[in-house]
């Protein structure tokens, strides 16, 4: 968007982060991104994980990823040139490749290394922020330079928590990292929400963990529970978001509800 010839930031930038592996960061990035696109929001997923699961899960084979987030962070390609449309209308992706695992070593002498992604997103022509309503960043399972870059660029962090016994383990460390990023790089950063994932209603532990998390963390926890649902785990092997794979399954309905809840929270935030 251009106001008096100046580009204006409109995108809401949210990072899916939790240094615990396998908690649903990528599944949430793909399916929340799809939900937002289906709700008419222009959305891009920035795959910041060298595993490239968000890219694979959206149907991008390794050999199809000609330009990736590695090229953008390394400085050889503007981020907009890395973007590809997906099969979902309104949803784009900046794919990742395994090269990204070496980026922290490559940037070690660069004093601006923690602000690389922010600089790319805030490009002077406003091509990223004006083109999208939502920018979702899928982080790796680590509090490394890539996750710090995501936190430095984001307005908010969404934290998926798996409904299992050690759900809250590591959260103190994650919150500590968010606070350090707030202090040094991004004062406006917030934890925007906690998303309970892989909820199993037949398992009493799942509901105990969900209650415990709500008691400890309050309103920040989304009301929507993402159930454990086999369709959610099958969809990525077909390169599809679950809503395109099986629109009526419990996983699809849950991610649609989560999208609605996020949009309603964000409209309240903007109105406040
Ligand atoms: P990593 O830390 O490795 O990046 P992650 O936090 O991104 O992992 P996912 O890849 O989204 O986690 O999920 C881990 C595995 O669990 C995947 O195989 C995924 O398909 C499966 N999975 C995620 N959410 C659900 C769910 N609600 N029900 C069933 N399976 C799920
Ligand atoms: Mg992942």
Which residues share a beta bridge with 46? 94, 137
For residue 125, pLDDT over 50 is answered with: yes
Q: How far is the CA of 25 from the centre of ligand 1 (A)?
A: 7
Rounded distance between C-alpha atoms, residue 118 and residue 107, angstroms: 15
Which positions ≥6 away from 258 have C-beta within 8 Å?
28, 31, 32, 35, 195, 222, 224, 226
pTM, entire model: 0.95
For residue 236, pLDDT over 90 is answered with: yes
What pLDDT does residue 154 have? 98
The residue that leads in pLDDT, 8 or 14, is 14
Among 15, 19, 23, 24, name the best residue to mutate to test ligand 1's pocket (greatest count of ligand atoms within 8 A of Cβ).
Answer: 24
Task: Give residue-wise pLDDT tens across range 20-42.
Answer: 999 999 999 999 999 999 999 99
Q: Are 226 and 195 in contact (CB under 8 A)?
A: yes
Which positions ≥6 away from 43 have C-beta within 8 Å?
33, 36, 37, 90, 91, 92, 132, 133, 134, 135, 136
C-alpha closest to that of 120 among 61, 68, 65, 54: 68
**What is the residue with the minimal CA distance to atom 19 of ligand 1?**
233
Band (pLDDT 50/70/90 cuts) for residue 2 is: very low
Ligand of minimum distance to the alpha carbon of 236? 1
For residue 237, pLDDT over 50 is answered with: yes
CA–chain centroid gap for 183, Å, is 22
Protein residues whose CB sits closer than 6 Å to any atom of ligand 1: 21-27, 49, 51, 53, 141, 197-198, 226, 228-229, 232-233, 236
CA–chain centroid gap for 264, Å, is 18
DSSP 8-state symbol, 115: G
Lowest mean pLDDT among 30-44, 138-152, 163-177: 163-177
Both structure tokens of 152? 């430095």
What pLDDT does residue 5 have? 40
For residue 3, pLDDT over 80 is answered with: no
Q: How far is the CA of 11 from the centre of ligand 2 (A)?
A: 22
Rounded distance between C-alpha atoms, residue 64 and residue 257, angstroms: 32
Ligand of minimum distance to the alpha carbon of 21? 1
Ligand of minimum distance to the alpha carbon of 227? 1
Q: How far is the CA of 53 from the centre of ligand 2 (A)?
A: 6
Task: Give residue-wise pLDDT tens across range 51-84.
Answer: 999 999 999 999 989 899 999 999 989 999 999 9
Atom of ligand 1 nearest to the CA of 139: 4
Q: How far is the CA of 138 from the centre of ligand 2 (A)?
A: 7
**What is the residue with the minimal CA distance to atom 5 of ligand 1?**
22
């Amino acid at each position: 968007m251009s106001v008096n010839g100046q580009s204006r930031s409109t995108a809401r930038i949210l990072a899916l982060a939790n240094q615990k592996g396998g908690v649903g960061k990528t599944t949430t990035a793909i399916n929340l991104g799809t939900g937002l696109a289906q709700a008419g929001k222009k959305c891009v997923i920035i795959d910041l994980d060298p595993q490239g699961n968000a890219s694979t899960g959206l149907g991008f084979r390794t050999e199809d990823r000609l330009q990736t987030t590695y090229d953008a962070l390394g400085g050889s390609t503007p981020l907009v040139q890395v973007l590809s449309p997906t099969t979902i209308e309104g949803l784009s992706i900046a794919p990742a490749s395994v090269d990204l695992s070496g980026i922290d070593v490559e940037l070690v002498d660069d004093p601006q290394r923690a602000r690389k992604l922010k600089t790319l997103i805030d490009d002077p022509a406003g091509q990223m922020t004006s083109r999208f309503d939502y920018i979702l960043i899928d982080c790796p399972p680590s509090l490394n330079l890539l996750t710090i870059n995501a936190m430095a660029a984001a307005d908010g962090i969404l934290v998926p928590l798996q409904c299992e016994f050690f759900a809250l383990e590591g959260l103190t460390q994650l919150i500590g990292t968010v606070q350090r990023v707030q202090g040094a790089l991004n004062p406006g950063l917030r934890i925007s929400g906690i998303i309970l994932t892989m909820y199993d209603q037949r398992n009493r532990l799942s509901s105990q963990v969900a209650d415990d998390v709500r008691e400890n963390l309050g309103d920040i926890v989304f009301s929507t529970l993402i159930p454990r649902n086999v369709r959610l785990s099958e969809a990525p092997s077909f390169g599809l978001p679950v809503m395109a794979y099986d629109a009526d399954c419990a996983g699809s309905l849950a991610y649609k509800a989560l999208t609605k809840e996020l949009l309603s929270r964000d409209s309240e935030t903007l109105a406040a």
